[in-house]
Structure 1
Amino acid sequence: MSLFAIAFPVFDPVAVAIGPFVIRWYALAYIGGILLGWLYARMLLQRERLWGGPAPVTPVQFDDFILWVTIGIILGGRAGYVLFYNLDFFIAHPAEIFELWKGGMSFHGGFMGCVVAVFLFGWKNKVSIASLGDITCAVGPIGLFLGRIANFINGELWGRPADSSVPWAMAFPNAGPLPRHPSQLYEAGLEGLALFVILALMIRAGALKRPGLIIGAFLAFYGLARITSEFFREPDPQLGFLWGGMTMGMLLSVPMVIAGLIVMLWARRRAVAPQPSGVSTKPGEALK
């Protein structure tokens, strides 16, 4: 081990164990992110001044939406990991696709699962898809922060080797003796805390009065945060560096930045007044 490397504080990946029943920190991160996000969303929905009138989605409707988005996160996250990060392995071992307790989730896949949940729920319940997406994206950084902290506790997704100019470099248990960037903490700070603050400030400035603006900001700023973090994160061993020295995380995030900027421009040009919950809208008009 290098003399300037900080020893990784080894954590037990199991948070609670009662006989054969165990709860891991990663599972708690998902549960905590959903619960805290739900409470924050209810708070935002109850503040009419943020929306310029009654919110287009009621707290009761968002309560019902929680199950939809949870399923979307789990199914999308797993599907994204299978397709983007380890397709060859799962083609050879298809039964392991369903073994979620072994790990393997993709943010980009989980995000797409959320998108599907938002569209289906909004269409079925005749609520503004753009506003539902805004509130979902506003709470998203909470789960991202907790998820990256869980990655750190598990000692996984570690960073690239660091030199002596990085005094907080760590030697991770399963990453060899080299000191590495604690990239999980970088991601927790950028994708979690920083993104949460940016979106909260935008909401305070009236962004929810322009449906779609928070969606666009989430896409653009998350994409930039993820690309920045990937410069310090070790690529997945089964993939390594891809086209032009980029990682899979970078390649998946570039379209997010472009799409986010487009959605933000669209939302800025179309300041749509919020509709009371329950007002019938045609499916094709929900995003106008």
Structure 2
Amino acid sequence: MIAAIPFPTISPELFSIELFGMTFALRWYALAYIGGILIGWRIALFLLRRPRFWAAEKPPMRADQVEDLLTAVILGIILGGRLGYVLFYQPAYYLANPIEIPMIWTGGMSFHGGLLGVMVAVLWFSRKTSSPLASTADLLAISTPIGILFGRLANFINAELWGRPTDLPWGVIFPGVAAQDCGQAIGTLCARHPSQLYEALLEGALLATILFVLAARGALKTPGVIAGTFFAGYGLSRFAVEFVRQPDAQFVTPGNPLGLAWQVGEVGLTMGQILTVPMILAGVTAIALAQRSARRTRHGPTP
């Protein structure tokens, strides 16, 4: 008998009702999106209504403009997340079946694609409202990790995006044929890393704590630092978890059991790691540029 944790009996559906011969269900995943957006909205309002957090005590927008930003962000998440999944993970399939691209209810969303969609939405909103781009990005960045935390917990409840096989005592025995197919001896259960919980801890709880502490210490007064920290922090967290996260099935072959999307000899990267490298570089660059701009503001241009 392996030392592992049985998967808890939690239904992916919070509840369901029958109306007019159809079943309508509220799923934990949908609730995670709703809860994350609502809490992020409240965090943004809290900060905007307290000018002391911002440079020159001037928030980047009015509190009543947050709803417009939120609408743009939701559209960016949905459109970018779906197109990112199509382009990054299964381009050949959707090129052959383009009618399925809008069918988001069948599953298939990419965080990195959603992030790109949000970036486009923030750029559009900033230009439309003349809000400072860096501070607008900071506001959104500090409001996001709680939603990521909820989303990863919902992934766990859905028994999806699980990790690679492990013999560690906190390995989880996920249900389903795919989860239980890890080349083990017949009759033996397969325990896997609960990589969703690792991501919930690192990308959600830990990153949120870091950003809140930085904001409390005045980081929002240096536009770009919070957004840069979010990019670098999420990227590093996701890069690390990818070592124990099971890659998407289309990348796994008999000659590539680790599902590496790029490989040279014994070294390689998963698609998730490839997509996080630009995030890390962008985050570090944003922090450096923000700090350099702050130094110039304090001391004047270097002669």
TM-score (norm 1): 0.91
The answer as to 2:104 corresponding to 1:100 is yes
Q: Which moved more, 1:52-61 or 1:139-148?
A: 52-61
2:160 maps to 1:170? no
Which consecutive segments of 4 or more residues in structure 1 shift more than 2 A? none
For residues 103 and 34 of structure 1, the distance between their equivalents in structure 2, rounded to whole angstroms, comes to 20
Equivalent pair of 1:57/1:131 in contact (CA under 8 Å): no
Distance in structure 1 (CA, Å) of the matches to 2:215 and 2:243: 30
Task: Indicate the percent of aligned positions where both proteins have the same amino acid.
Answer: 51
Instruction: Answer yes or no: is 1:250 the counterpart of 2:273.
Output: yes
What letter is aligned with 2:173?
Answer: A
Cα distance in structure 1, aligned partners of 2:227 and 2:6? 39
Aligned partner of 2:9 in structure 1 is 10
Q: How does 1:179-194 map to 2 (within 5 A)?
A: 179-194=191-206
Residue 96 of structure 1 deviates from its aligned partner by 1.7
| Residue 269 (str. 1) matches residue 292 (str. 2) | yes
Measure, in 2, the Cα distance between the counterparts of 1:270 and 1:73: 30
Aligned to 1:284: none
Query: Who is 1:280 aligned against?
Result: none
Q: Does 1:32 align with 2:43?
A: no
Pairwise CA RMSD of aligned residues? Answer: 1.6
Q: Tell me if 1:224 matches 2:243.
A: no
- SS of residue paired to 1:161: coil
Computing the radius of gyration over CA atoms, which structure comes out larger, 1 or 2?
2
Cα deviation code 1:43-100 (max 9, x no counterpart): 0111111114131211111122111111011111111111111112212222221111
CA contact (8 A) 1:211 1:272 kept: no
| C-alpha contact (below 8 Å) 1:199/1:214 kept by paired residues | yes
Name the CA distance, whole Å, in 2 between partners of 1:114 and 1:28: 20
User: Structure 1 CA distance, aligned partners of 2:101 and 2:9?
Assistant: 28
In 2, Cα distance between the equivalents of 1:225 and 1:156?
19
Measure, in 1, the Cα distance between the counterparts of 2:51 and 2:148.
27
2: distance between equivalents of 1:10 and 1:95?
36
Residue 178 of structure 1: how far off its partner (Å): 1.2
Q: Kindly indicate whether residue 76 of structure 2 is the aligned counterpart of residue 77 of structure 1.
A: no
How many angstroms apart in 2 are the aligned matches of 1:10 and 1:99?
A: 29
In the alignment of these two chains, the number of paired residues is 271
2:101 counterpart SS class: helix
1:139 Cα deviation from its structure 2 partner: 0.9
Residue type of the partner of 1:33?
Answer: G
CA distance in 2, matches of 1:4, 1:248: 31
* 1:238-275 residue CA offsets vs partner (Å, 9 max, x unmatched): 122221331111000011111111110000111299xx
Identify which of structures 1 and 2 has the higher relative contact order when contacts are C-alpha pairs closer than 8 Å and 6+ apart: 1
Q: Which runs of 5+ in 2 are unaligned?
A: 181-188, 252-258, 297-303
